[in-house]
Amino acid sequence: MITHNGTPLEDYAHRLEGQYFDRKSCRIKPKDVVRHVIAFANASGGILVIGIEDDGAVRGFTSDSEKEANLIENAHIVGCTPTPTVKSERVRVNDSEFIIVLHIEVSTHAVIRSKADAKVYLRIADTSRELSHEQITHLEYEKNQRAFEDEIAWGSSINDIDTTLLAEYKDRLHTSVSDEKLLTSRSLMRDGQLTNAGVLLFSQNPTKFLPQARVRVLRFEGNQMEAGRDFNLVKDQPYDLPIPRIIQQASVLISSMLREFQYLSDDGVFEIIPEYPEFAWFEGLVNAVIHRDYSFAGDYIRISMFNDHLDIFSPGALPNNVTLENMRSTRYARNPRIARTLVEFGWARELNEGVGRIYTEMQKVFLHDPEYSEPNHSAVLLTLKNSITSRALRTQDTIEDKIGTQNFNDLTADEKIAVNLAYTEGKVTVKTFATAISVTPTTARKKLKSLAQKNVLSWHGHNSKDPQQYYSLTSINEY
């Protein structure tokens, strides 16, 4: 099979078109090539293959169509302003035919326009869309922020690279070129030094150059962070690693700390419901490392797990053309080089298409929609709520086995919530119960004492003022 840089020609014919790839017939007009080149350059860069039909049939250029091939290869020079960076390669199909592969670099400093009519296009999923005047203005604003990816990380070199990680990336790309050549061709290295994007993606210790590149996974006991004597942090794991390693390791830790709920389905079979659907929290983590504003120093990404919710905090406000209202449908990468690399690794979906699915996955397991907010207009916060109280009610069969069906049926609604908390968490405190049913601690304490008097709950503590006191579920065998 004919190959190109280790990539089978067949791959170009059958690869799904999307954010970073498109193919067109050799009959395409140069002005239409210009439109797609502009769209790729204004978005995240990509590959445009000319000489393959929509059905995957390869019908390339021949010696008789040399003039048309030259027009295609120079379309960006003739038709774009300013001129984007495009590398053209001819890939032979057989002795008489070839296709043209255009490797289009992202334009990080300027909006690319058509010379003919000044129109601006942007690659969104698998289409090249014309932008309105307002959208062009937003894009111009964003180009100024994108420059951070391409700035040199002074003092860095090829010796800072995680060679094992880069080898994994090269396997993904089916290439055997040298490390330095690959990094340079992807604009992750310049003049022998890594760019900020190169540091974030492949350096062994990114925080050596960018202290704000750290990610922390935190676990709190309770529904909110406390201070002083009540400080409730029980796990704090920092990650000072390249982004792909952060995703790998942090996701393993998060998964290990998540709980599962068991309930009896309508079919009479016990089913397991996860605390949060894996796609939702994993996509939230990946989106955070892709889209955060890395020029925003002094803060870092935090994944904070509480009893009733999970927060994913990413420094930097939303990109200028993305709002809380349109983020499910608007796709834009603040860090296009990072985004494209993670898509090629298989860690990320194309740009922001995963946000809509987060909503869908949460709804599938009967959870509230995810909540996005912008704390102080300087960060993006994703909150996933596990609805632990209502979901715990689905474990009613198991609880009844433990305390007895009649005992459970005799409880009030609030008392059932206390019992469910004691069952799912292993214990219930005055504070967590008061929060769950929105009452004062005094009222909550009375209700818990009443359950203890009924032998439904057992109290644990040294005395009534013990700050560590709690209640646990009393087994029917202990009555």
418, 419, 423, 424 alpha-carbon torsion, rounded to 10°: -40
- Cis check: omega of the bond before 82, within 30 degrees of 0: yes
Note the Cα 106 to chain centre separation in Å: 21
Please calculate the CA angle 389-357-345 and round it to the nearest 5 degrees.
120
pLDDT at 396: 47
pLDDT winner (highest mean) among 10-19, 102-111, 190-199: 190-199
Contacts of 439 (CB under 8 A, 6+ apart): 414, 447
What's the DSSP call for residue 382?
E
Phi, psi angles (nearest 5°) of residue 302:
-130, 130
Mean pLDDT over 265-269 rounds to 62
Mean pLDDT over 48-61 rounds to 91
Q: Do 308 and 386 form a contact (C-beta atoms < 8 A)?
A: yes
Domains in the chain with CATH codes: 3-131 (3.30.950.30), 213-386 (3.30.565.60), 390-478 (1.10.10.10)
Residue 5: band (very low, low, confident or very high) from pLDDT cuts 50, 70, 90: very low
pLDDT at 1: 36
Give pairs for 462-471: CB < 8 Å, separation 24+: 467/229, 467/230, 469/429, 469/430, 470/427, 470/428, 470/429, 471/418, 471/422, 471/427, 471/428, 471/429
Mean pLDDT over 252-261 rounds to 84
Q: What are the tens digits of pLDDT across the range 429-460? A: 998 888 777 678 899 999 999 999 988 899 99
pLDDT at 394: 43
pLDDT at 347: 80
Contacts of 447 (CB under 8 A, 6+ apart): 414, 415, 418, 433, 439
Please state, rounded to an integer, the average pLDDT across all residues of the chain: 86
Q: Do 273 and 394 form a contact (C-beta atoms < 8 A)?
A: yes
Residue with more model confidence, 414 or 103? 103
Residue with more model confidence, 243 or 295? 243
Alpha helices in 365-411 (DSSP H): 388-392, 396-403, 405-409
| pLDDT of 158 higher than 50 | yes
Helix, strand or coil, per DSSP, at residue 215: strand
Mean pLDDT over 413-428 rounds to 78
Report the alpha-carbon distance of residue 107 to residue 241 in Å, rounded: 27
Mean pLDDT over 355-377 rounds to 87
Residue 387: band (very low, low, confident or very high) from pLDDT cuts 50, 70, 90: confident
Q: Do 302 and 310 form a contact (C-beta atoms < 8 A)?
A: no
Please calculate the CA angle 251-382-217 and round it to the nearest 5 degrees.
35
pLDDT at 392: 47
Mean pLDDT over 264-286 rounds to 80
| pLDDT of 366 higher than 90 | no
pLDDT at 399: 59
| pLDDT of 381 higher than 70 | yes
Contacts of 423 (CB under 8 A, 6+ apart): 392, 395, 398, 399, 402, 473
Q: What percent of the chain has pLDDT over 90?
A: 49
